Amino acid sequence: MPDFVSLKDKYDSQGMYEKIVEFPSQFKEGWEIGKAAELPDVDPRTIKNIVVCGLGGSAIGGDLVRTYLAYQLGMPMYICRHYKVPEYVSQFSLCIISSYSGNTEETLSAYDDAKSRGALILAITSNGKLKEKALADGYKVIEIPPGFPPRAALGYSFVPMLTALSRMGFCKDVNPDVEAAISFMQESVENFTFGNKDNIAMTSAQKMHGKFPLIYGGQDFVDAVAVRFKGQICENAKQLSFFNFFPEFNHNELVGWGDMEPYKDKLYTVILKDKADHDRVSIRMKIVADIIREKGVEALEYESSGPNLLARMFSLIQFGDFTSLYLALLNEVDPTPVKVIDYLKNKLAEV
């Protein structure tokens, strides 16, 4: 086993490990923010669709809310990662504009588009132009603490949004499930920290090292978790990764698992599972895991745990976040900076 403590001391200059360890506390703080926030006065019966506008770490919170509420919401919920909102956005739409920094150019553009269409707007941000514009235009703003990389602020981008939708009457009261999920995460975080000798996140990171991780999950409740896992590997570990979900994966990408002899030593697969997966999807996962192994590629089937769906989803997120952190250390990179994204933003600012 590599000396991860020494690697952390050498490469984790901005404390990403501590941020992941302390995530349950951030989740709880996000819950308190959501419960205390001033929200729009809206009759849910007048709203025909919900659109969340955001990118990257600010969008994944919306994706997870969409996934969690997949079978509760009585209307479509769409995550808009673009400069424009969909054409159907109107005065009958609730647009949640999520930008951690408040300065994401695509999100600010989407805000202007949503405003021009007369949508009801709720902003979630720590500061920046979004806060300034929304307050000036008379919209409600949920203010979240600054100072985190957006991907390390998931507790602030996810829980206030979920709590707000619950308080506005779009779904059931989520408070009991949130409280139980926080308690579960506080207990389970020790499974993934340095002191645990049976740390599956460390083991998985070692197996992913030098390979392309492929993250697969079920459509019902885990698709957004797979997106998060992939994104954390890319941003924290600076390592390319890919994701897909069942059953769609079985109708195209599976065929790509043909002659794997030239590639089998460069791939590692994680199949994220949940007890609420569709029965037929669970069967598909088992068959596909066997197919992958027959091709000479290791496939880890990792099942969620926890007292409710929310806790189970975030048990998978804890696993993915810690795995990406340990993979960063094995890659001898600092998990926090994302220099290529900063470079891209600077170049765009010149145009």
Question: Measured between alpha carbons, how far is 223 from 63 in angstroms, rounded to an integer?
Answer: 9
Largest CA distance in the chain: 60
DSSP state of 92: T
Cβ-contact 317, 221 below 8 angstroms: no
Q: Which residue among 131, 133, 235, 238 is the active-site one?
A: 235
CA distances from 222 to 52, 182, 218 (A): 19, 19, 5
Cβ-contact 273, 218 below 8 angstroms: yes
18 is catalytic: no
230 is catalytic: no
Residue located via tokens 């703003």: 141
Residue 7's nearest CA partner among 168, 169, 209 is 209
235 is catalytic: yes
Cβ-contact 157, 61 below 8 angstroms: yes
DSSP state of 187: H
Q: Which residue among 197, 251, 339, 347 is the active-site one?
A: 251
Query: So which residues are the catalytic ones?
Result: 235, 251, 345
